[in-house]
Amino acid sequence: MDSHTAVAAKPHGAHAHPGYGELRHHFESFDQQKDSATIGMWVFLLTELMFFGGLFLAYFVYRQWYPEAFASASNKTDLWLGAFNTTVLICSSLTMALAVHAASMGKRILLVGFLIATLLLGGAFLGVKAYEYHDKWIHHEVPGEHFECEGCKDEVHTPLFFALYFGMTGLHASHMIIGFGILLVLIWQAWCGKFTTKWYTPIEMFGLYWHFVDIVWIFLFPLLYLIDRTGRTLL
Protein backbone atom coordinates (compact mmCIF):
# COMPACT_ATOMS: atom_id res chain seq x y z
CA MET A 1 0.00 0.00 0.00
CA ASP A 2 1.20 3.42 -1.00
CA SER A 3 0.00 5.25 2.07
CA HIS A 4 1.82 2.75 4.27
CA THR A 5 5.22 3.55 2.82
CA ALA A 6 4.40 7.23 3.07
CA VAL A 7 3.83 6.83 6.81
CA ALA A 8 7.08 4.94 7.31
CA ALA A 9 8.98 7.73 5.60
CA LYS A 10 7.73 10.35 8.03
CA PRO A 11 10.08 11.40 10.84
CA HIS A 12 7.28 10.82 13.31
CA GLY A 13 7.58 7.10 12.67
CA ALA A 14 10.26 7.01 15.34
CA HIS A 15 7.96 8.29 18.09
CA ALA A 16 8.34 6.91 21.62
CA HIS A 17 4.78 5.60 21.57
CA PRO A 18 4.32 3.75 18.30
CA GLY A 19 0.89 4.22 16.81
CA TYR A 20 -0.14 6.89 19.30
CA GLY A 21 -0.35 10.28 17.70
CA GLU A 22 0.85 9.13 14.34
CA LEU A 23 -0.87 9.19 11.00
CA ARG A 24 -2.97 6.03 10.75
CA HIS A 25 -2.62 4.16 7.47
CA HIS A 26 -6.25 4.63 6.48
CA PHE A 27 -5.88 8.42 6.33
CA GLU A 28 -4.29 10.46 3.58
CA SER A 29 -2.95 13.24 5.79
CA PHE A 30 -2.99 14.61 9.33
CA ASP A 31 -5.59 17.13 8.18
CA GLN A 32 -7.92 14.42 6.99
CA GLN A 33 -7.36 12.43 10.17
CA LYS A 34 -8.20 15.42 12.32
CA ASP A 35 -11.26 16.37 10.23
CA SER A 36 -12.60 12.83 10.67
CA ALA A 37 -12.11 13.02 14.44
CA THR A 38 -13.85 16.41 14.50
CA ILE A 39 -16.85 15.10 12.60
CA GLY A 40 -17.06 12.04 14.85
CA MET A 41 -16.95 14.22 17.94
CA TRP A 42 -19.67 16.50 16.60
CA VAL A 43 -21.92 13.53 15.84
CA PHE A 44 -21.44 12.43 19.46
CA LEU A 45 -22.24 15.94 20.67
CA LEU A 46 -25.45 15.93 18.62
CA THR A 47 -26.58 12.78 20.43
CA GLU A 48 -25.81 14.66 23.65
CA LEU A 49 -27.84 17.59 22.34
CA MET A 50 -30.86 15.32 21.88
CA PHE A 51 -30.22 13.77 25.30
CA PHE A 52 -30.48 17.18 26.98
CA GLY A 53 -33.16 18.15 24.43
CA GLY A 54 -35.64 15.72 25.98
CA LEU A 55 -35.26 17.45 29.35
CA PHE A 56 -35.58 20.87 27.76
CA LEU A 57 -38.79 19.72 26.08
CA ALA A 58 -40.18 18.46 29.41
CA TYR A 59 -39.28 21.84 30.88
CA PHE A 60 -41.08 23.79 28.12
CA VAL A 61 -44.21 21.63 28.34
CA TYR A 62 -44.57 22.01 32.10
CA ARG A 63 -43.67 25.67 32.06
CA GLN A 64 -46.41 26.20 29.47
CA TRP A 65 -48.94 24.35 31.62
CA TYR A 66 -48.01 25.74 35.05
CA PRO A 67 -46.53 29.24 34.54
CA GLU A 68 -47.27 30.45 38.09
CA ALA A 69 -45.63 27.41 39.68
CA PHE A 70 -42.53 27.86 37.52
CA ALA A 71 -42.33 31.61 38.05
CA SER A 72 -42.61 31.47 41.82
CA ALA A 73 -40.31 28.44 42.18
CA SER A 74 -37.69 30.05 39.91
CA ASN A 75 -37.61 33.08 42.20
CA LYS A 76 -36.27 30.74 44.91
CA THR A 77 -32.98 30.42 43.02
CA ASP A 78 -30.20 32.90 43.71
CA LEU A 79 -29.96 35.10 40.61
CA TRP A 80 -26.58 36.69 41.33
CA LEU A 81 -25.00 33.45 42.51
CA GLY A 82 -26.18 31.90 39.23
CA ALA A 83 -24.68 34.75 37.22
CA PHE A 84 -21.42 34.40 39.16
CA ASN A 85 -21.33 30.67 38.47
CA THR A 86 -22.01 31.25 34.76
CA THR A 87 -19.02 33.58 34.78
CA VAL A 88 -16.85 30.90 36.40
CA LEU A 89 -17.88 28.36 33.76
CA ILE A 90 -17.19 30.79 30.90
CA CYS A 91 -13.73 31.38 32.42
CA SER A 92 -13.12 27.63 32.30
CA SER A 93 -14.19 27.63 28.64
CA LEU A 94 -11.65 30.39 27.96
CA THR A 95 -8.82 28.47 29.64
CA MET A 96 -9.85 25.38 27.64
CA ALA A 97 -9.74 27.35 24.37
CA LEU A 98 -6.31 28.69 25.39
CA ALA A 99 -5.19 25.12 26.20
CA VAL A 100 -6.04 24.05 22.63
CA HIS A 101 -4.20 27.13 21.40
CA ALA A 102 -1.13 26.26 23.52
CA ALA A 103 -1.24 22.68 22.21
CA SER A 104 -1.30 23.91 18.61
CA MET A 105 1.76 26.04 19.38
CA GLY A 106 3.55 23.10 21.01
CA LYS A 107 3.85 24.87 24.39
CA ARG A 108 3.80 21.93 26.80
CA ILE A 109 3.97 23.73 30.17
CA LEU A 110 1.39 26.30 29.08
CA LEU A 111 -0.90 23.48 27.91
CA VAL A 112 -0.60 21.68 31.26
CA GLY A 113 -1.20 24.98 33.07
CA PHE A 114 -4.36 25.82 31.14
CA LEU A 115 -5.73 22.30 31.55
CA ILE A 116 -5.19 22.52 35.32
CA ALA A 117 -6.85 25.97 35.34
CA THR A 118 -9.83 24.47 33.49
CA LEU A 119 -10.05 21.70 36.08
CA LEU A 120 -9.89 24.16 38.99
CA LEU A 121 -12.50 26.51 37.51
CA GLY A 122 -14.79 23.55 36.82
CA GLY A 123 -14.29 22.49 40.44
CA ALA A 124 -15.19 26.00 41.61
CA PHE A 125 -18.38 25.84 39.54
CA LEU A 126 -19.40 22.54 41.13
CA GLY A 127 -18.51 23.94 44.56
CA VAL A 128 -20.99 26.80 44.11
CA LYS A 129 -23.51 24.30 42.75
CA ALA A 130 -23.06 22.11 45.84
CA TYR A 131 -23.67 25.17 48.02
CA GLU A 132 -26.89 25.89 46.09
CA TYR A 133 -28.04 22.26 46.40
CA HIS A 134 -27.36 22.36 50.13
CA ASP A 135 -29.32 25.60 50.43
CA LYS A 136 -32.30 24.00 48.68
CA TRP A 137 -31.96 20.89 50.83
CA ILE A 138 -32.13 22.79 54.13
CA HIS A 139 -35.11 24.82 52.86
CA HIS A 140 -37.00 21.59 52.01
CA GLU A 141 -37.10 22.53 48.33
CA VAL A 142 -36.16 19.05 47.16
CA PRO A 143 -39.24 17.27 45.74
CA GLY A 144 -40.45 14.54 48.04
CA GLU A 145 -42.27 13.89 51.27
CA HIS A 146 -40.97 16.98 53.09
CA PHE A 147 -41.22 19.37 50.16
CA GLU A 148 -42.13 22.94 51.00
CA CYS A 149 -42.07 26.09 48.94
CA GLU A 150 -42.69 29.07 51.15
CA GLY A 151 -44.88 31.70 49.52
CA CYS A 152 -45.09 29.79 46.24
CA LYS A 153 -48.17 29.84 44.05
CA ASP A 154 -49.68 26.60 42.74
CA GLU A 155 -47.88 24.50 45.35
CA VAL A 156 -49.15 21.27 43.79
CA HIS A 157 -46.98 21.86 40.73
CA THR A 158 -43.93 23.65 42.17
CA PRO A 159 -42.15 20.32 42.78
CA LEU A 160 -42.13 19.88 38.98
CA PHE A 161 -39.88 22.90 38.64
CA PHE A 162 -37.50 21.62 41.29
CA ALA A 163 -37.50 18.11 39.83
CA LEU A 164 -36.44 19.59 36.48
CA TYR A 165 -34.00 21.93 38.23
CA PHE A 166 -32.23 19.03 39.95
CA GLY A 167 -32.53 16.75 36.92
CA MET A 168 -31.11 19.22 34.43
CA THR A 169 -28.39 20.75 36.60
CA GLY A 170 -27.58 17.24 37.87
CA LEU A 171 -27.13 15.84 34.37
CA HIS A 172 -25.04 18.89 33.54
CA ALA A 173 -22.92 18.41 36.68
CA SER A 174 -22.41 14.71 35.92
CA HIS A 175 -21.06 15.70 32.50
CA MET A 176 -18.58 17.97 34.26
CA ILE A 177 -17.53 15.20 36.66
CA ILE A 178 -16.90 12.89 33.68
CA GLY A 179 -14.96 15.80 32.15
CA PHE A 180 -12.75 15.98 35.27
CA GLY A 181 -11.77 12.33 34.81
CA ILE A 182 -10.83 12.89 31.17
CA LEU A 183 -9.01 16.13 32.09
CA LEU A 184 -6.84 14.32 34.65
CA VAL A 185 -5.75 11.82 31.98
CA LEU A 186 -5.08 14.62 29.48
CA ILE A 187 -3.05 16.60 32.03
CA TRP A 188 -0.91 13.53 32.67
CA GLN A 189 -0.47 12.83 28.95
CA ALA A 190 0.35 16.48 28.23
CA TRP A 191 2.88 16.48 31.06
CA CYS A 192 4.52 13.38 29.56
CA GLY A 193 4.76 15.19 26.23
CA LYS A 194 2.46 12.92 24.25
CA PHE A 195 1.09 15.77 22.15
CA THR A 196 2.84 17.45 19.27
CA THR A 197 1.95 20.44 17.10
CA LYS A 198 0.95 17.91 14.42
CA TRP A 199 -1.19 15.80 16.71
CA TYR A 200 -3.11 17.02 19.74
CA THR A 201 -6.51 15.68 18.70
CA PRO A 202 -7.58 14.50 22.21
CA ILE A 203 -7.02 18.03 23.57
CA GLU A 204 -9.06 19.55 20.75
CA MET A 205 -11.87 16.96 21.02
CA PHE A 206 -12.07 17.37 24.78
CA GLY A 207 -12.26 21.12 24.16
CA LEU A 208 -15.37 20.53 22.03
CA TYR A 209 -16.93 18.46 24.83
CA TRP A 210 -16.14 21.08 27.46
CA HIS A 211 -17.54 23.95 25.38
CA PHE A 212 -20.67 21.89 24.71
CA VAL A 213 -21.21 21.50 28.46
CA ASP A 214 -20.74 25.28 28.73
CA ILE A 215 -23.43 25.84 26.06
CA VAL A 216 -25.90 23.64 27.97
CA TRP A 217 -25.36 25.87 31.00
CA ILE A 218 -25.75 29.02 28.87
CA PHE A 219 -29.34 27.84 28.28
CA LEU A 220 -29.96 26.42 31.76
CA PHE A 221 -29.10 29.75 33.37
CA PRO A 222 -31.89 31.86 31.79
CA LEU A 223 -34.40 28.99 31.86
CA LEU A 224 -33.95 28.08 35.53
CA TYR A 225 -32.83 31.34 37.16
CA LEU A 226 -34.34 34.13 35.10
CA ILE A 227 -38.05 33.30 34.89
CA ASP A 228 -40.18 36.22 35.81
CA ARG A 229 -37.87 38.04 38.20
CA THR A 230 -40.19 41.05 38.05
CA GLY A 231 -43.08 39.03 39.46
CA ARG A 232 -45.43 39.89 36.59
CA THR A 233 -46.92 36.39 36.22
CA LEU A 234 -47.56 36.32 39.96
CA LEU A 235 -49.63 39.49 40.18
Partner 1 sequence: MDSHAEHHVVPKSVYFAVFFTLIALTWVTAWISTKDLGSSSLNVAVALSIAVFKASLVVMFFMHVKYGTKLTKMIVCIGIVWLLMLLFIAMMDIWTRTWMGVPGR
Q: What is the DSSP string of the chain?
A: -HHHHHHHHSGGGG-SSTTTTSPPTT-SSHHHHHHHHHHHHHHHHHHHHHHHHHHHHHHHHHHHH-HHHHHHHHTTS-HHHHHHHHHHHHHHHHHHHHHHHHHHHT-HHHHHHHHHHHHHHHHHHHHHHHHHHHHHHHTT-SSSTT---TT-SSTTTHHHHHHHHHHHHHHHHHHHHHHHHHHHHHHHHHHTT---SS--HHHHHHHHHHHHHHHHHHHHIIIII-TTTT--TT-
Quick one: 54 or 151, whose CB is closer to partner 1?
54
Contact status, residue 195 vs residue 187, Cβ threshold 8 Å:
no
> Residue 53 half-sphere exposure, CB side, CA atoms within 13 Å?
7
Among 15, 101, 140, 157, binds partner 1 (CB under 8 A): 101
Min CB(30)–partner 1 separation in Å:
8
Q: Return the range that interacts with partner 1 (CB under 8 A); candidates 9-17, 18-26, 93-101, 181-189.
A: 93-101
Q: Determine, following the binding rule CB under 8 A, whether residue 39 of this chain makes contact with partner 1.
A: yes
Q: Determine, following the binding rule CB under 8 A, whether residue 35 of this chain makes contact with partner 1.
A: yes
Q: Return the range that interacts with partner 1 (CB under 8 A); candidates 23-31, 109-117, 142-150, 182-190.
A: 23-31
Quick one: 104 or 140, whose CB is closer to partner 1?
104
Q: Determine, following the binding rule CB under 8 A, whether residue 214 of this chain makes contact with partner 1.
A: yes
Quick one: 63 or 194, whose CB is closer to partner 1?
63
Number of residues that bind partner 1 (CB under 8 A): 56
Q: Determine, following the binding rule CB under 8 A, whether residue 184 of this chain makes contact with partner 1.
A: no
> Residue 95 half-sphere exposure, CB side, CA atoms within 13 Å?
19
Contact status, residue 44 vs residue 212, Cβ threshold 8 Å:
no
Contact status, residue 136 vs residue 127, Cβ threshold 8 Å:
no
Q: Determine, following the binding rule CB under 8 A, whether residue 156 of this chain makes contact with partner 1.
A: no
Contact status, residue 194 vs residue 21, Cβ threshold 8 Å:
yes
Q: Return the range that interacts with partner 1 (CB under 8 A); candidates 59-67, 109-117, 120-128, 177-185.
A: 59-67
Q: Determine, following the binding rule CB under 8 A, whether residue 124 of this chain makes contact with partner 1.
A: no
Quick one: 37 or 116, whose CB is closer to partner 1?
37
Min CB(96)–partner 1 separation in Å:
8
Q: Determine, following the binding rule CB under 8 A, whether residue 1 of this chain makes contact with partner 1.
A: no
- The residues binding partner 1 (CB under 8 A) are 29-32, 35, 38-39, 42-43, 45-46, 49-50, 53-54, 56-57, 60-61, 64-65, 71, 79-80, 82-83, 86-87, 90-91, 93-94, 96-98, 101, 104, 204, 207-208, 211-212, 214-215, 218-219, 221-222, 225-230, 232-233
